[in-house]
Amino acid sequence: MASFVPTSQDTVEDQRLYTQARLVEVECLDCLARVGVKKNSEHQTSVQWTAEAQAQCPDLVRRKAAADGARLVHARCPRLAASIEAAVADGRIQIGAEDGY
């Protein structure tokens, strides 16, 4: 059963724009986990994981096991962060939003 149902088709399009548009696939140079990355500015980064990528990142798996569900693992994986920086450096990730998304 759906909830919070939008009444306009434009809203469905907005949902797509804000959650999926401009997501660039980045592969971790270390563990090869693939995530979606978006940067609205130099210091702003969104990273969309998938269950598959989460299972593939040894750093995340290890820290998650250590946290035992009590606190969410929040620090970014440093290897993935480096891979994202590399993707920015060689122009694969464009910095700057398109009208807010």
Partner 1 sequence: MADPTTQTRTLDHGSQPERFARGWHCLGLASQFKDGKPHAVEAFGGKLVVWENSKGELGVLDGYCRHMGGDLTQGTVKGDEIGCPFHDWRWGADGRCKQIPYARRVPLRARTKAYETVIRNDSLLIWHDPEGSKADYDILPPELPDIGNREVYTDWIWNTVPIKGSHCRELIDNVVDMAHFYYVHFAFPTDFRNVFEDHMATQYMASKGRPDVAGGYGDADMFLKSEATYYGPAYMINWLEVDYKGFVTEVILINCHIPTGPDSFLLQYGITVKKPEGLDDKTANFIGKKYADMFGDGFLQDVHIWQNKVPVQNPLLCEEDGPVYQLRRWYEQFYVDVADIEPEMRARFEFEVDTTKANEYWHEEVAENLRRIEAEKAENPESSDAGVS
Closest CA to 83 of 44, 24, 42, 28: 28
Cα–Cα dist 92/51, whole Å = 24
Of 46 and 79, nearer to partner 1 (C-beta) is 46
Least CB distance from residue 69 to partner 1, whole Å? Answer: 7
Least CB distance from residue 10 to partner 1, whole Å? Answer: 7
**Using CB under 8 A as the criterion, which residues of the chain lie in contact with partner 1 when the complex forms?**
1-8, 10-11, 14-15, 18-19, 40-51, 54, 60, 69-74, 76, 96-97, 99-101
Least CB distance from residue 21 to partner 1, whole Å? Answer: 11
Q: Give me 66's structure tokens.
A: 């250590």
Cβ-proximal residues to 7 (8 Å cutoff; 6+ apart), any chain: none
